[in-house]
Amino acid sequence: MNDLQADEPRAITDGPFGSNLTSAHYTDSGPRVVRLQNIGDGVFHDLPAHISEEHFQALRRHEVLPDDLLVASLGETLPRACLAPAALGPAIVKADCIRVRLSPKVDSRWVMYSMQRPQVRKWADEHRHGVGRPRLGLKVIRQIPVPLPPLDQQRRIVDILEDHLSRLDAARAAVDNSRLRLSRFRQAMLQSVLDSAASAPGCSIRSVGQIALVGTGATPLKARRDFYEGGTIPWVTSADLAHGLIEHPVQFITPRALDETNVKIFPPGTLLVAMYGEGKTRGTVGELAVAATTNQACAAIQLNDPTPSNRAWVRMALEANYWQMRRLASGGVQPNLNLSLVRQIRIPFLDTETRDSLLHARAALEDARRQLAITLERVKKRESSLRRALLEAAFSGRLNGQASDMDRVEEMAGV
């Protein structure tokens, strides 16, 4: 990479560090700041952040121009790079974002796609450092190997590559759209079952507080190592609820923590609702398959009637109420549920035969949804394999722009 930079000072540079660019410098409008979240794998994500014109002028040495190569030095996928779009306007890069201004003797698209090759990803894995958050750093990024045929060949190969990639991009978009629709289908299916129950003759509506004991747990002081080290008692947090049925807890506390704090053990079959959490967590429903304690972010629902069919019905109803629970949440920057709101959640109840019939119908639809999800995941993996093989074929001179290209790529991908 270092050999391909433009003949000008600081052609390869990272963003300003420390006090030169802090959150206090951001404004509602003005020149742009390119951050890690803008740099996708071959695509620029338009997520604006701005600074004042005055501050931009002070940081011009970090400026981004159209067609500059933008490289993320931090993240799981390394090296991750895209090109600065023509419509970006005045902009600078932030820390951990590398701007590479390339020589006119090289096609910037060629360099960008080169960084997506399996060989370069393997090279990056061998050269990255850092625990928890993998990093390449400016010095290593300068050393990224790039094959360099003549410029006219670069352009010809990239044109062929982009023609094939456009088809894979369309396939990826279709799969992503289908996955989104499938997620919406599940919620609509659950709501449909709940609506059918509510409109059935003889249905009665009861609150969670009327049918269960609702409580919560606590977080033992993290500074107390004797509360955690060698722990044998499962301790569940709201993040664990994404697994649905919690069979294998990953965090544990000691008997001393149980004795000296407000945590309590809940029995198997207890339903859990995430009262707060980032992203999609809040409102998520889980079920304990083992006895466990929880933190204060989980509402623990112990049913008066813990029979499997009744538990399955209440859990289904809570899952159907996911969006309603999120709307119920109150608070400021991060809205939260509380035990009082959880107790007020209303659930329809009807005779056992009708209830079991609706649960059976729900199970059949859920099985069909699950099979579709498996198929979509298989298609997604196939697309990823084809993309890797296509890049390998392009940079090894095996694309000629003919229909036989994809046959060769499929053979290389083993699909």
Looking up residue 141, the CATH number of its domain turns out to be: 3.90.220.20
Q: Please say whether the beta carbons of 316 and 193 come within 8 A.
A: yes
Q: Distance between CA 267 and CA 291 in Å, rounded?
A: 4
| 27/123 same-domain check | yes
Is 242's pLDDT higher than 90?
A: no
Q: DSSP assignment, residue 336?
A: B
**Interval 241-257 mean pLDDT:** 94
Say what the pLDDT of residue 411 is: 86
406 in a domain, yes or no?
Answer: yes
Let me know whether 212 and 320 are in one domain: yes
Task: Using a cut of 0.75, tell me whether the model's pTM lies above it.
Answer: no
pLDDT (tens digit per residue) in 357-408 = 999 988 999 899 999 999 999 999 999 999 999 999 999 888 888 878 888 8
Check residue 336 and give its pLDDT: 75
Look at residue 76 in the predicted model and tell me its pLDDT: 85
Q: Is residue 80 part of a domain?
A: yes
User: Is the domain of 327 the same as that of 242?
Assistant: yes
Of 349, 384, 403, which residue is a domain's last? 349
Number of domains in the chain: 3
Q: Where are the alpha helices (DSSP H) in 251-329?
A: 255-260, 308-320, 322-328
Residues 165 and 263 in one domain: no
213 with 312, same domain? yes
Residue 302 lies in a domain: yes
Query: Binning pLDDT at 50, 70 and 90, where does residue 283 land?
Result: confident
- H-state helical runs in 82-117: 108-114
Containing structural domain, residue 255: 204-349
**357: in domain:** no
128 and 37 housed in the same domain: yes
Q: Is 218 a domain residue?
A: yes
Q: Are 177 and 229 found together in one domain?
A: no
Which residue is listed with tokens 């820390």? 95
**101-110, 255-264, 360-369: lowest mean pLDDT where?**
360-369
Helix (H) or strand (E) holding 177: helix 151-198
Instruction: Work out the pLDDT band at 276, boundaries 50, 70, 90.
Output: confident
Q: What is the DSSP letter of 135?
A: B
> Is 393 part of a structural domain of the chain?
yes
pLDDT class of 131 with cuts at 50, 70, 90: low
Closest among 303, 277, 283 to 215, alpha carbons compared? 303
Residue type, 105: K
Report yes or no on 194 lying in a domain. no
Max CA distance (Å), the chain: 81
138 and 155 part of one domain: no
Domain membership of residue 187 (yes or no) is no
Q: Indicate whether 209 and 309 sit together in one domain.
A: yes
Same domain, 337 and 398: no
- Domain endpoint, select from 349, 377, 399: 349
123 and 8: one domain? yes
Last residue of a domain, one of 315, 349, 383: 349
Q: Are residues 169 and 215 in the same domain?
A: no
